[in-house]
Amino acid sequence: MYSTQQDLIDRFGEEELQRYAWDEDTDTANESRIQQAINDAQETVNIYIAATVRLPLATTPPILTALSADIARYRLQDDNPLDEATERYKTAIRVLKDIAAGRATLGTVEQGTTGATVEAQRGINDRLFTRESLADF
Protein backbone atom coordinates (compact mmCIF):
# COMPACT_ATOMS: atom_id res chain seq x y z
CA MET A 1 0.00 0.00 0.00
CA TYR A 2 1.46 3.33 -1.04
CA SER A 3 -0.42 5.51 1.45
CA THR A 4 -2.43 4.95 4.60
CA GLN A 5 -5.14 6.79 6.46
CA GLN A 6 -2.45 8.16 8.76
CA ASP A 7 -0.55 9.50 5.73
CA LEU A 8 -3.69 11.38 4.70
CA ILE A 9 -4.11 12.77 8.21
CA ASP A 10 -0.44 13.80 8.35
CA ARG A 11 -0.64 15.57 5.00
CA PHE A 12 -4.10 17.11 5.02
CA GLY A 13 -5.30 17.05 8.61
CA GLU A 14 -7.89 14.97 10.41
CA GLU A 15 -10.52 17.67 9.98
CA GLU A 16 -10.41 17.32 6.21
CA LEU A 17 -10.86 13.56 6.37
CA GLN A 18 -13.79 14.02 8.70
CA ARG A 19 -15.32 16.63 6.41
CA TYR A 20 -15.27 14.36 3.36
CA ALA A 21 -15.69 10.94 4.95
CA TRP A 22 -17.93 11.60 7.96
CA ASP A 23 -20.57 9.00 8.78
CA GLU A 24 -23.58 10.70 10.37
CA ASP A 25 -24.96 7.41 11.68
CA THR A 26 -21.89 6.46 13.70
CA ASP A 27 -20.64 10.02 14.26
CA THR A 28 -17.13 8.98 13.18
CA ALA A 29 -15.04 9.01 10.05
CA ASN A 30 -16.19 6.39 7.54
CA GLU A 31 -13.17 4.08 7.60
CA SER A 32 -14.35 1.98 4.66
CA ARG A 33 -14.85 5.05 2.45
CA ILE A 34 -11.35 6.28 3.31
CA GLN A 35 -9.86 2.85 2.65
CA GLN A 36 -11.69 2.62 -0.68
CA ALA A 37 -10.20 5.96 -1.77
CA ILE A 38 -6.73 4.73 -0.74
CA ASN A 39 -7.22 1.45 -2.63
CA ASP A 40 -8.44 3.29 -5.72
CA ALA A 41 -5.41 5.58 -5.55
CA GLN A 42 -3.08 2.59 -5.32
CA GLU A 43 -4.67 0.99 -8.37
CA THR A 44 -4.36 4.25 -10.28
CA VAL A 45 -0.65 4.42 -9.42
CA ASN A 46 -0.17 0.76 -10.40
CA ILE A 47 -1.74 1.30 -13.81
CA TYR A 48 0.95 3.84 -14.64
CA ILE A 49 4.05 2.33 -13.04
CA ALA A 50 3.43 -1.31 -13.98
CA ALA A 51 5.02 -0.74 -17.37
CA THR A 52 8.32 0.32 -15.83
CA VAL A 53 8.70 -1.58 -12.54
CA ARG A 54 7.91 -5.02 -11.18
CA LEU A 55 4.90 -5.07 -8.90
CA PRO A 56 4.45 -5.40 -6.01
CA LEU A 57 7.24 -3.10 -4.89
CA ALA A 58 9.41 -4.29 -2.02
CA THR A 59 9.53 -0.76 -0.60
CA THR A 60 7.44 2.30 -1.32
CA PRO A 61 9.36 5.32 -2.60
CA PRO A 62 8.25 8.50 -0.77
CA ILE A 63 7.09 10.05 -4.05
CA LEU A 64 4.51 7.27 -4.45
CA THR A 65 3.19 7.94 -0.96
CA ALA A 66 2.72 11.61 -1.85
CA LEU A 67 1.15 10.90 -5.25
CA SER A 68 -1.14 8.25 -3.83
CA ALA A 69 -2.24 10.53 -0.98
CA ASP A 70 -3.07 13.31 -3.44
CA ILE A 71 -5.12 10.93 -5.56
CA ALA A 72 -6.94 9.48 -2.53
CA ARG A 73 -7.73 12.98 -1.25
CA TYR A 74 -9.21 13.94 -4.61
CA ARG A 75 -11.30 10.76 -4.68
CA LEU A 76 -12.65 11.46 -1.20
CA GLN A 77 -13.82 14.87 -2.42
CA ASP A 78 -15.62 13.33 -5.39
CA ASP A 79 -18.75 15.49 -5.22
CA ASN A 80 -17.08 18.88 -5.15
CA PRO A 81 -13.29 18.71 -4.92
CA LEU A 82 -11.32 21.71 -3.71
CA ASP A 83 -9.29 23.52 -6.38
CA GLU A 84 -6.09 22.62 -4.54
CA ALA A 85 -7.05 18.91 -4.46
CA THR A 86 -7.87 19.01 -8.17
CA GLU A 87 -4.54 20.62 -9.04
CA ARG A 88 -2.60 18.15 -6.89
CA TYR A 89 -4.49 15.28 -8.53
CA LYS A 90 -3.68 16.57 -12.02
CA THR A 91 -0.02 16.99 -11.05
CA ALA A 92 0.07 13.44 -9.65
CA ILE A 93 -1.33 12.04 -12.89
CA ARG A 94 1.21 14.05 -14.94
CA VAL A 95 4.07 12.68 -12.83
CA LEU A 96 2.75 9.14 -13.19
CA LYS A 97 2.52 9.59 -16.97
CA ASP A 98 6.14 10.80 -16.97
CA ILE A 99 7.17 7.70 -15.02
CA ALA A 100 5.27 5.46 -17.44
CA ALA A 101 6.89 7.19 -20.44
CA GLY A 102 10.38 6.91 -18.94
CA ARG A 103 10.82 10.68 -18.52
CA ALA A 104 10.96 10.23 -14.73
CA THR A 105 12.00 7.39 -12.46
CA LEU A 106 11.18 6.16 -9.00
CA GLY A 107 14.81 6.36 -7.96
CA THR A 108 16.28 3.20 -6.52
CA VAL A 109 13.30 0.96 -7.23
CA GLU A 110 14.28 -2.10 -9.24
CA GLN A 111 13.29 -1.46 -12.84
CA GLY A 112 11.38 -4.17 -14.64
CA THR A 113 11.47 -5.07 -18.26
CA THR A 114 9.16 -3.18 -20.54
CA GLY A 115 9.38 -5.42 -23.59
CA ALA A 116 11.60 -7.52 -25.78
CA THR A 117 15.09 -6.43 -26.66
CA VAL A 118 15.64 -6.17 -30.38
CA GLU A 119 19.06 -6.21 -31.95
CA ALA A 120 19.67 -5.53 -35.62
CA GLN A 121 22.81 -6.40 -37.49
CA ARG A 122 23.72 -5.32 -40.99
CA GLY A 123 26.71 -6.09 -43.07
CA ILE A 124 28.56 -3.74 -45.41
CA ASN A 125 26.86 -5.36 -48.41
CA ASP A 126 23.35 -4.84 -46.96
CA ARG A 127 23.13 -1.21 -48.06
CA LEU A 128 19.66 -0.04 -49.00
CA PHE A 129 20.87 2.84 -51.12
CA THR A 130 23.68 2.29 -53.57
CA ARG A 131 24.86 4.12 -56.66
CA GLU A 132 22.99 1.57 -58.72
CA SER A 133 19.70 1.79 -56.83
CA LEU A 134 19.77 5.58 -56.96
CA ALA A 135 20.92 5.86 -60.58
CA ASP A 136 17.48 6.90 -61.84
CA PHE A 137 17.01 9.69 -59.28
**Tell me, what's the pLDDT at 113?**
47
Write out residues in the chain with pLDDT < 70, as ranges: 108-129, 133, 137
Q: pTM for this structure? A: 0.77
pLDDT of residue 78: 84
| 112 assigned to some structural domain | no
Q: How many domains does the chain have?
A: 1
Contact yes or no for 109/52 (Cβ under 8 A): no
> Does a structural domain hold residue 12?
yes
The answer to the question of residue 14 being in a domain is yes
Handedness of CA 22, 26, 30, 31 (dihedral sign): positive
**Residue 95: CA count within 13 A, CB half-sphere:** 19
Is 107 contained in some domain? no
| Range(s) of the domain holding residue 13 | 5-101
- What pLDDT was estimated at residue 43? 98
Kindly report the CA angle at 91 between 88 and 93, in degrees rounded to 5? 110
State the Cα–Cα distance between residues 132 and 93, nearest whole angstrom: 53
Tell me if 71 is assigned to some domain. Answer: yes
